[in-house]
Structure 1
Amino acid sequence: MLIANGTVIAVCDGEKLSLYRNQGDESAPELVPLAVEAVETQNKSSGMRHRSTAANPDARQLEEDSFAAGVAGILSDMFLANEFERLVVIAAPRTLGELRKRYHSQMLPAIQAEIAKDLTGATVPTLLATLEAERG
């Protein structure tokens, strides 16, 4: 996958968010870590009085979904503040599903790719290899 200069790459799961910006060019990307603000979680208590079923997720799943909502909020705010024009999202599959529900509609055209893999904690070379494999 070709990643234009300035593209932001978000890597997350239900507990951790890492952000990078490509400071290189498309043929030689150079991912530089960005500072990540604290992720605001919301609606932690909704559904907590119910038994855990597919329709009523357990407390841990609610935490992960709330985290994903907070990540979508951060990314949307960054986009609306003109902090990026292009975005690549690499997220655990369930987290990616939650993110998709919560992106700001104006940000949708900026999303260049979504990769459903849990690569939180991965090294930059691993991320670059994954992005290169997606080019394929």
Structure 2
Amino acid sequence: MSLQIPQGALVVVADGGEARWFTNTGNEAKVVLRQHARTDVQNVDDDGPAGKAPQDLTGADLDEMTFAKQLSHALNDGALKQEYTHLVLVADPTTLGRVRPLLHKETQQRLVGDLAKDLTNLPLADIQRALS
């Protein structure tokens, strides 16, 4: 699958527990990613998932839901502070499904594409190939 990723776009590649933050230094025809951050779930004991969590969830499920909330907050904060103009979000289907409804209107307007695939642990070259 080929996404149109503008030069300078923020590309976030995530799964249920961590995210890698990139900037596309290439162009729409040739994606060249430069990684500038890596985040994982923070302060799980002090911060829970968004909304009500079903009783039968495991600790791992709660951690993943909490991370999705934290990731969406970081993306929303960046959009509201005008830190990026274009956003591409790549995540496993479950995480993507948890993050999407939590995105602020400003963040949604910057979202130029998303991909429901877990690429988080792949080498940089493989991520670039998957997005080109």
TM range (shorter): 0.7 to 0.9
Q: In the alignment, what sits opposite 2:76?
A: 76
Distance across 2 between alignment mates of 1:130 and 1:27:
13
Count residues in correspondence.
Answer: 125
Q: In the alignment, what sits opposite 1:13?
A: 15
Q: Is the 8 A contact 2:10 2:88 kept in 1?
A: yes
Opposite residue 85 of structure 1, the aligned amino acid is: T
Higher strand share: 2
Q: In the alignment, what sits opposite 2:111?
A: 111
Opposite residue 110 of structure 1, the aligned amino acid is: R
**Mapping of residues 1-136 of structure 1, within 5 Å:** 1-36=3-38, 39-40=41-42, 41=44, 42-43=47-48, 47=53, 50=55, 52=56, 57-132=57-132
Opposite residue 75 of structure 1, the aligned amino acid is: L
Say if 1:129 and 1:39 are closer, same or farther in 2 by CA, change over 3 A. same
Opposite residue 62 of structure 1, the aligned amino acid is: L
SS of aligned partner of 1:35: strand
Which stretches of structure 1, 4 residues or longer, exceed 6 Å deviation after superposition?
Answer: none
Opposite residue 116 of structure 2, the aligned amino acid is: A
Work out the percentage of aligned pairs sharing the same amino acid.
27
- TM-score, scaled to structure 1: 0.82
Deviation at 1:36, TM superposition (A): 4.1
